[in-house]
Amino acid sequence: MRMPPHMAIGADPHAIKGAVVSKGIVRRVLTFARPYRLLLAGFLVTIVLEALIALVPVLLFKQIVDIIPSGDRHKVTLLAGLIMVAAVATAALSFFERWWSSKIGEGIIYDLRVKLFDHVQRMPLAFFTRTQTGALISRMNNDVIGAQRAVTGTLGSVVSNVVVLVTTLTAMFILQWQITLVALVLLPVFIIPAKRVGRKMQEITREGFDLNSSMNTQMTERLNVSGAQLVKLFGSYDGESEAFGDRAGKVRDIGVRGALYGRTFFIALGLVGAIGTAAVYGIGGNLVISGAIELGTLVAMAAFVTQIYNPLTSLTNARVDIMTAFISFDRVFEILDLANVIQDRPGAVDLVDPAGRIEIDDVWFQYPAASGISLASLEADGGRPLSNEVGDAVLRGISAVIEPGQLVALVGPSGAGKTTLSSLIPRLYEVTTGSIRVDGTDVRDLTQQSLHDAIGVVSQDPHLFHESVMANLRYARPDATDAEVEQACRAAQIHQVIAALGDGYDTMVGERGYRLSGGEKQRLAIARMLLKDPAVVILDEATSHLDSENEHLVQRALAAALVGRTSIVIAHRLSTITAADQILVLDHGAIVERGTHQTLVEADGLYADLYRTLVRGEDIPASPAPVIP
């Protein structure tokens, strides 16, 4: 017997209670199903044919039973052959039903997932800083599958149950209406408790989903490289095992409860079926003895009565099934409807042959309100409404001009706004007021792809995918030749390290590049940037993880690589940016000083204080060192 969809999906019964399927959701569902309308038609026709053919064996059994006393062997053999044909036809239709269902279901899963992935990856960076990755992945897996079931599972189940019920009851009334009424009288005895069991199963399944999620979260956080290292250094194996055992125990207990309630459902179905069959045989048997009906009719009615309880019960829960399925669609559409506040403007142009001139004109920036960039259901506290208030100003009236090929350093205390300002140039965030122009064009009037192509970034903690060294390097430029990759790696002083690995450039770097040291990851990120060959380079503490020897080698490599490129350097180690063409000193989101290293030291302001503190009173170098952070 097919389990009702609401038991399989586990939607929140409180979310379903009183819910109404809006016409808008139905229309959007139909939009996704429209490309599969021919397959859907074939799917529904197959279901109808299956239901009709299911009547044939029972009616033929009736004929056989009625013919046996006459001794007509030929007719009995013929009818038995027809039953075999019906069985073959049912098997074939079942195969095609599954083919239609899989084509439609997997197709819709593909369409929804690709659309979701494309939409989500284009969301602004602020969206990802607030969203729980696990919750987002759940939407792209569990809810997408739930939406698929709405089209194939729920739709197919409702249509199949309606057709089976109508055809079976029609056949029963035609054969013997009195016995049919007896069978229907028993129905409420089963439907009422079964419906309650179904609701309880919803609650249990939902609770089981939450408990499994909690258990899986612990495994995900503890069994990745960072989590495992944290447990080893700060945690307790026994404590972790105890916490995991507690969560696993709750999953075990809810599983037992679910199994018992599920078994209760099936026992009740079997019990009422047995009672109904007994009633049919008792009443029908007396009717046969009295000559009111034939023996074959009694056999057919007994077979039919067991076929009507399941569809009748399923249809009593049809609304719950439908609402559960459409809730999955609604949760998917909730993400698709979340506006992307950073998009290409109509008529946006490509940045062609960028020279790298950057103009920052009276830029103010506030982080956007949470309600405009995220969803409460995707955050840690999913039940709390998101705030509509924007944050305080992080940048205040920033203005600067960076000429092509210049190297500009951003310095200042932590939290001064240095990284935020650098993030506005590639438009990872949108300026609140003012503008940033690249080669004279506002970045909001440039296509994001061309803007990103013109900018290379090496951050303090570079991210590497769990792929090969070569795949991580070519992510910046997929068409790069092996020779070009090697040349970039030699320039970043990382080629010898890669060559010494077991599989060379085909070596897997591990999750977040944990198979490499911090300095090796940094140099690999520098090689990736060099391979991209951008016009503008942003270095955010790009050599912070390098030892003295490697730092000197990479500084030399970067000094040569940055020639002719506009470079923006964020540095806390001020001794490394003394030769900058321009130093912008930020404090509390504003530029408080600007100039060269020498003029700023002589001004004896914030920069001079920072320099004296961080360089520990060292003399100002007579000839400035290469400007690499």
Three-state SS at 567: strand
Model pTM? Answer: 0.72
Lowest mean pLDDT, pick from 144-148, 353-357, 363-367, 523-527: 144-148
DSSP label at residue 186: T
Decide: 568 and 403 in contact? Cβ < 8 Å. no
> If we measure between CA atoms, which residue out of 410, 406, 433 comes closest to residue 420?
410
What structural domains and CATH numbers belong to the chain?
Answer: 20-336 (1.20.1560.10), 402-434+443-615 (3.40.50.300)
pLDDT-based confidence at 406, cuts 50/70/90? very high
Decide: 342 and 430 in contact? Cβ < 8 Å. yes
DSSP string of 11-47?
--HHHHTT----HHHHHHHHHHHGGGHHHHHHHHHHH
Q: Where are the alpha helices (DSSP H) in 122-143?
A: 125-130, 133-138
Residue type, 98: R
Three-state SS at 238: helix
Which token pair is 397? 């009236």
- In 10 A of CB 282, how many CB atoms? 11
How far does CA 580 lie from the centroid of its chain? 44
pLDDT one-digit tens code per residue, 559-586? 766 778 899 998 766 656 788 899 999 9
Res 238 pLDDT > 80: yes
Which token pair is 319? 């609304």
Residue 298, CA atoms < 13 Å, CB-side half-sphere: 20
Decide: 527 and 492 in contact? Cβ < 8 Å. yes
Decide: 407 and 567 in contact? Cβ < 8 Å. yes
Three-state SS annotation for 395-416: EEEEEEEECCCCEEEEECCCCC
pLDDT one-digit tens code per residue, 65-95? 888 888 888 888 998 899 999 999 999 998 9
Rg (CA), the chain: 35
Res 18 pLDDT > 50: no
Q: State what percent of residues in the chain have pLDDT above 70.
A: 80
- In 10 A of CB 111, how many CB atoms? 16
Residue in the block written with tokens 């900018």: 455
Three-state SS at 427: coil
Average pLDDT, integer, range 129-144: 75
Is the pLDDT higher at 196 or at 457? 457
Neighbour-count burial of 347, counting CB atoms closer than 10 A to its CB (0-12 exposed, 13-18 middle, 19+ buried): exposed
Q: Give CA–CA dist 50/97, Å, rounded.
A: 9
DSSP string of 99-163?
HHHHHHHHHHHHHHHHHHHHHHHTS-HHHHHHS-HHHHHHIIIIIHHHHHHIIIIIHHHHHHHHH
Neighbour-count burial of 119, counting CB atoms closer than 10 A to its CB (0-12 exposed, 13-18 middle, 19+ buried): middle
Lowest mean pLDDT, pick from 51-55, 371-375, 442-446, 579-583: 371-375
